[in-house]
Amino acid sequence: MHDFHHVKGELWCEDVPIREIASAAGTPLYIYSHRTLLNHFRTFDQSFAQVPHIICFAAKANSNTAILRLFAKEGGGMDIVSGGELYRALQAGADPGRIVYSGVGKRTDEIEFALTSGILMFNVESPQELRAIDECAGRMGKKAGVALRVNPDVDPQTHPHISTGLKENKFGINIETSFSEYLRARELVNLDIKGVSCHIGSQVTKMTPFIDALERLKDLIGRLRAEGINIRYLDLGGGLGITYNRETPPPPSDYANAIMEASRELNCTLIFEPGRVIVGNAGILVTKVLYTKTNEGKNFVVVDAGMNDLIRPSLYNSFHGIQSVSANVKGEIVADIVGPICESGDYLAKERKIPAFERGDLVAVMSAGAYGFAMSSNYNSRPRVAEVLVKGAGYYTIRKREEYADIIRGEEIPDFLKS
């Protein structure tokens, strides 16, 4: 569910017309619904109310500090994958004791930053990383909380680029060798082995992969406890999908009931890392039609948002619903919606039946709250767009639109080129 709806044919976010926001903030821009974000987080959190748990929002899905602040105020933790995301989380007021640090390529300075900040634990991706964390903690006189990210070799049945739990994926430590790695980790004196971690992929729309992974982890936890390794946390990652088109993912309540039933006797604090399921349908990208054209009978709608603003369609061939912001657009056509980037892969929709947009019309690209702005870039030297948060009848700029000066900030011309 989300709070983007039509009033007399016009698209609104909560109690504000989208056209009003676009007129004030310009296009392209991202618009998020505060009510939807809050409802989605609370629904997920409350679904696990019966068991000890921490909801660590996946900051990579949408890392705007205002969004992170909203979840931190609800008691949420953060799942981070870089020093930059840790900095964002701390700036947003997140409790470091509820932060888990994932990712395959943690640098030494990032590990030190996390140790200084007092995060809950690292989700460790390799034996070399484990030793690097132990060495950092030793130099700093600290104990580093760790969990090994176990790769359960479970097919999440999602897009190959966002599958992370198979043997051929770069993530984690193979489940067959993880037991012996835990035994080696026990010998590293600067580590506090706190848990077991797993993340099988993103945009998963079936329960079976989650339960299959959990069953494999339960066996590992039993073996570790038999060796005297006190596992207190089980991090099951994120990955629960949303509806972009015709997908029918399980609702958080069904997901929670299945997980709680399968983990009933584990006596662990459960950690979850939801991202897309919280923010995906809470945001849209609004763009303006610059031109329409027809080549050899094929229709194109050229808009002012490109693959640098929303790369998911180009990168994953992902579907995003297309809606008209105005009630005045009549009729339908089959067309590609393309952007201004000098790449043939620059599109937001291909061969899609869409409203018969004309020059100047506003287009809403739906379900863009996750991995939208977070994956945007300055490609073609395009300033990154504004982000706006709507709350009731008010709206707030939570990221200013970049100016041309912003895109060269940090660059320098050496003296020998100045003459």
Pairwise CA distance, residues 69 & 76, whole Å: 9
Confirm if 354 and 51 have CB atoms less than 8 A apart. no
Rama region for 128: left / alpha / beta (φ>0; ψ in -120 to 50; rest)? alpha
Rama region for 227: left / alpha / beta (φ>0; ψ in -120 to 50; rest)? alpha
Question: Is 13 a known active-site residue?
Answer: no
Pairwise CA distance, residues 397 & 393, whole Å: 14
Closest CA to 28 of 307, 300, 245: 307
Pairwise CA distance, residues 343 & 57, whole Å: 33
Strand ranges in 179-320 using DSSP code E only, listed in sequence order = 191-197, 233-235, 269-272, 283-295, 298-303
**Active-site residue, from 56, 136, 198, 342:** 342
Pairwise CA distance, residues 292 & 355, whole Å: 12
Pairwise CA distance, residues 80 & 63, whole Å: 10
Pairwise CA distance, residues 282 & 43, whole Å: 14
DSSP-based three-state secondary structure for 293: strand
Peptide bond into 313 cis (omega under 30): no
Pairwise CA distance, residues 246 & 228, whole Å: 47
Which residues have a catalytic role annotated?
A: 342
